Amino acid sequence: MLLLSIPSVALLFIIVLVNFIAWWSLKKHLVAVVAPFLLIRNARRAILAPLLNAHADFGATQHHYTMKIPHTRREFLSSSAAAALAGSLFGPMGSASTNVQSGASVGHSSAGGSSAAPRRIIIDTDPGVDDAMAIFLALRSPELKVEAITAVSGNVPLELTLPNALRLAEIAGRTDIPIAGGASVPLVRRLITAKYVHGNNGLGGVDFPKPHLKPLGETATQLISRIVRANPGEITIVAVGPLTNIGTLLRSDPEIARMIPQIVIMGGSLSGGNITPAAEFNLYVDPEAARIVFDSGIPVTMVGLDVTEKVLLREEHIVMLERAQNPVSQAAGKIMRATLNRAHTGIDRTVIAMHDPLTVASLIDPQLLKLQDYYVEVETEGGFTAGMTVGYAHAPVRPSAPLATATASQPEPDTSFHPNARVAVGVEPDRFFKLLMSRLTS
């Protein structure tokens, strides 16, 4: 039997102790090295788990997803550590840094909260000071995709409205948009313009450089027809001038009406006109074209003087435009400053009403306007009332009594109600100007 001396035992004890200390130290270092990897692994699991569970459950519920709830202390601590690490690495869950929006898909959202795909539109216009503001608004709003701009005579003749449309698109940096000229005169009437409001050049008399952008060789009706027929049911017509181009299109190609899901017009009024006591300017210029549009069967939204004369541009709005440092705001500020100066010299103060921008804005934020179903007839025969929009909120729809010399008897009026338009009867001005100013000055 081997007996160890006391010194030998002491030496052995020291060796064992040193080895134990070395092993313990190495273990701590290994934990320190491995722990972050474990935390990252757990973080990834914590982040991916709800997404995977949501994907698995989506087909069954389409509305809810399930997350695994930790049942043990170890699971709870693991998930808590992972969440803490995820928060430090990626920011708070659900924040903008994750590119996930709660309750909505990622993408542009309108002032009304929609995150749908951009609405595809063609703008038919007669620029025009408020037309300029409307075009700028449309081109700077991701909720809208402007497929084309077509010009028509109205506020000023076509030889001015067409270059104005080219000029405005160029100022906005949107030279990609096709632009075409349309009708130079109304369907059956002589052209009446509004140079006294919009200035001799249609842009308040403000001189801008000649546009480099060129119009298409197609006419306005050819361009509209080509785009609509290539995309049936997808293109909304936004008409903010006299309706000559649209009336011409529908008269020459009635079948295209079923391919147009909606026409939104700036025009008409239920409460009197602005160029005559009866008629609003756009419908006064070409009442026959307007009648074709309202009788076409296409869903019509009428944004008329009942609401547009409640959104008047004020001095503080023009100052905001002038102070913003982008080409659109600078151009808009110059146009509207000149227009406001003209208003101060005695022109009707409603020349600074944002007729056309409100019409465009109603597509961006549907909550801006209160709409009501009406059956609308456009007066075309009156010597003093041509262009008047007569709105029926209910049946029966009664025309004028027949003349005593009439040979045919008048049929009994239909007692059922068949609206042909949704008419704007209410507006939120502050909400509108918040949208308009934010888009033009950003």
DSSP string covering 1-57: -PPPPHHHHHHHHHHHHHHHHHHHHHHHHHHHHHHHHHHHHHHHHHHHHHHHHHHHH
Q: Which of 360, 118, 122 is nearest to 227 (CA)?
A: 122
Question: Regarding beta strands 144-151 and 119-125, do their DSSP bridges make them parallel or antiparallel, or are they unpaired?
Answer: parallel
| Residues 362-367, mean pLDDT to the nearest whole number | 98
pLDDT for residue 19:
65
Who wins on pLDDT, 346 or 194?
Answer: 194
- In whole angstroms, give the CA distance from residue 261 to residue 245: 17
CB atoms within 10 A of CB 188: 10
| Residues 181-210, mean pLDDT to the nearest whole number | 97
Who wins on pLDDT, 24 or 261?
Answer: 261
- In whole angstroms, give the CA distance from residue 122 to residue 239: 8
pLDDT for residue 406:
87
pLDDT for residue 411:
84
Prediction pTM value: 0.74
- Select which of 29, 55, 63, 355 is catalytic: 355
Tens digit of each residue's pLDDT (9 = 90 or more) over 202-236: 999 999 999 999 999 999 999 999 999 999 999 99
Here the contacts of 192-196 (C-beta below 8 Å, separation 24 or greater) are 192/275, 192/284, 192/285, 193/153, 193/154, 193/155, 193/156, 193/157, 194/154, 194/155, 194/156, 194/275, 194/281, 195/155, 195/156, 196/347
Q: Are 397 and 413 in contact (CB under 8 A)?
A: yes
Q: Are 141 and 364 in contact (CB under 8 A)?
A: yes
In terms of average pLDDT, the best of 24-33, 52-61, 398-407 is 398-407
As separate numbers, helices (DSSP H) first and strands (DSSP E) second, the chain gives 14, 9
pLDDT for residue 42:
54
pLDDT for residue 48:
44
| Residues 116-135, mean pLDDT to the nearest whole number | 97
355 is known as an active-site residue: yes
Q: Over the range 59-68, which residues count as b (16 or more CB within 10 Å of their CB) and which as e? A: eeeeeeeeee
Q: Which of 357, 360, 358, 394 is nearest to 375 (CA)?
A: 394
In this predicted structure, the answer to whether residue 13 has a pLDDT above a threshold of 60 is: yes
In this predicted structure, the answer to whether residue 359 has a pLDDT above a threshold of 80 is: yes
Who wins on pLDDT, 408 or 48?
Answer: 408
In this predicted structure, the answer to whether residue 84 has a pLDDT above a threshold of 90 is: no
Residue 116 binned pLDDT confidence (cut-offs 50, 70, 90): confident
pLDDT for residue 278:
98
Tens digit of each residue's pLDDT (9 = 90 or more) over 284-299: 999 999 999 999 999 9
To the nearest whole number, what is the mean pLDDT of the chain? 82
Q: Return the minimum-mean-pLDDT range out of 88-97, 179-188, 393-402.
A: 88-97
All domains of the chain in start order, with CATH: 17-91 (no CATH), 119-395+417-441 (3.90.245.10)
Q: Strand, helix or coil at 424?
A: strand
In this predicted structure, the answer to whether residue 1 has a pLDDT above a threshold of 50 is: no
Who wins on pLDDT, 4 or 312?
Answer: 312
Determine the residue type at 68: K
In this predicted structure, the answer to whether residue 106 has a pLDDT above a threshold of 80 is: no
Q: Which of 440, 169, 139 is nearest to 318 (CA)?
A: 440
pLDDT for residue 92:
36
Q: Which of 184, 195, 174, 212 is nearest to 128 (CA)?
A: 195
Residue 53 binned pLDDT confidence (cut-offs 50, 70, 90): very low
pLDDT for residue 347:
58
pLDDT for residue 413:
85
Residue 22 binned pLDDT confidence (cut-offs 50, 70, 90): low
pLDDT for residue 47:
43
